[in-house]
Structure 1
C-alpha cells in the first residue's frame, strides 16, 4: 500500500519532452530513489521522501521521469548501461574480436548479477510479481530484454563479419547471459555464501570458452 502523501498527491504532469536535463540533479534523484526503492520497494517508496533527500521538488521528479514507475525504470536503465559500456556500448565493439567483446560483456553482467542491490531487486520483484506488474515490466524491458537485444545485434554483426556463425542471434545471446545465472546467482538470491572473485573469473572464462566453441568459425 502506498504511503499517504503519494495517495493524496495530484496526478503528475506528463514529462516535458525536449527539455534539457541537469545531469547533477538527475544523479541526485536517481541515487536517492535507488536507496528508497531498495529499502521500501516500488509500492511503498515515497516520492516526497525521494524528492526531499535529493533536494528537489516532487514536481521536478515528475517533470524529469513522468511517474514513480518511470523513475524506477531509469534506475534499471542506468545499471544496464554499465553492462553495455555506456552510450557507444556493445555497438562499438569490434565484430572481428568476439572473444574480447564477450569477455567484456560477461564480466560486467556477472558483476551486476552479484551486486546485493540487484539481488535484492530480484527478490522483491519475484515475491510481488502479481502486485507490481509495471515494475516487473520496467525491470525486464530495461534489463534482460535490452541487454539480450543489444548483444544479439553484436552477434549478428560478428556473423556478418565471418568470425562467428550465429543462425539465431537472440537465442545465442540469451544462452550466453543465462550461463551467469546458475548456482552462484541462486545462492545470492537465497542470501547464502557467494562465489569469490576467483570462482567468478573461472566462470567467466568457461562461459566464453563454451560459447566460442559452439559458434566460432573454424580458421
Structure 2
C-alpha cells in the first residue's frame, strides 16, 4: 500500500478513501506500464482501465483530468521515486561534499541505465518532441529541480568558505556534465555495458577535478 501523501503532488483530486487511493495508483501504474510497452498514442483510456482491473474512465478524469494529465502525473510520480532512489535531498551534516557529489552521480547512473528507466526516458523524449508545453513542464519539474538541488549544496559550500563557487547554477550544470556521455549513449540507443568499477573511477576522477577547479585561490 502506497502512502496517501505520495499522491498529494500528483493527483489533481486526492482520493479520500483507501479504496480510492488504491484505484488511483492502479490506474497510474497501469498507464505507466502500457505507455512504456506500447507507446503513448497506441494506448487508450479503456486500455488503461481494463489493465488496471478496476476503476473507470470517469476515475481518470477525476484524478488526472485527461490522458495528458495522467501522463504528467506519471512523470511526477517517477520523479519523486527518482529523488528517493538517488537520495538527492539527503546530505547528512557530517558528510563531506566530495562524498555527497560522488554518491549522487553513482546513484544517478545506476538509475538511468536500468532498462525500465531507459524505456521511460525514450518515451518522454518522444512525447516532448510533439508537445512543447509538456517539454517545458518536464524540464522545470525534473532536470531543473535536480540541478537546483546541487546548486544549493554548492552555494552553501561557497558561503561556508569551503569552495570558491560564486556561480553555483553554472557549476551544477558542469557537474552533471560528468555523466553526459552515458546519457547520450542511452538516448541514442548505443549498447551500454557498464563496468561498475570503471564507472566509479570515472566519477571520482571527474568530481576531484571539479572540486579542484573550485578551490579558493
- TM-score relative to the length of structure 2: 0.75
> What does residue 200 of structure 1 align with?
199
Aligned residue pairs total 202
Map 1:112-151 → 2, pairs under 5 A: 112-127=111-126, 129-151=128-150
Aligned-pair CA distance for 1:127: 4.8
1:164–1:216 Cα contact (<8 Å) kept: yes
For CA contacts below 8 A with separation 6 or more, give which structure has more relative contact order: 1
Judged with a 3 Å threshold, the aligned counterparts in structure 2 of structure 1 residues 89 and 122 are, in CA distance, closer, same or farther, namely closer
Aligned equivalents of 2:113, 2:100: Cα separation in 1: 20
Give TM-score, length-normalised by structure 1: 0.74
Structure 2 unpaired stretches of 5+: 1-10
Query: Hey, what does 1:11 align to over in structure 2?
Result: none
Find the aligned partners of 1:204 and 1:24 in 2 and give their Cα distance: 40
Q: Separation in 2 of the partners of 1:193 and 1:58?
A: 39
Deviations, residues 70-95 of structure 1 (Å, cap 9, x unaligned): 32223223333344337x95265438
Aligned residue in 2 for 1:106: 105
Give the direction of change, closer, same or farther, for the CA distance of 1:95–1:216 in structure 2 (3 Å limit): farther
Are 2:49 and 1:51 equivalent residues in the alignment? yes
Question: In the alignment, what sits opposite 1:158?
Answer: 157
**Distance in 2 separating the partners of 1:21 and 1:164:** 49
Matching residue within 31, 42, 55 for 2:29: 31
Aligned residue for 2:12, secondary structure, equals: coil
How big is the shift at 1:147?
0.9
Query: Once the 2 structures are TM-superposed, how far is the Cα of residue 120 of structure 1 from its aligned partner?
Result: 2.9
| Structure 1 residue runs without a partner (length 5+) | 1-13
Q: Deviations over 1:144-165 (max 9, x none)?
A: 1221122222222222222232
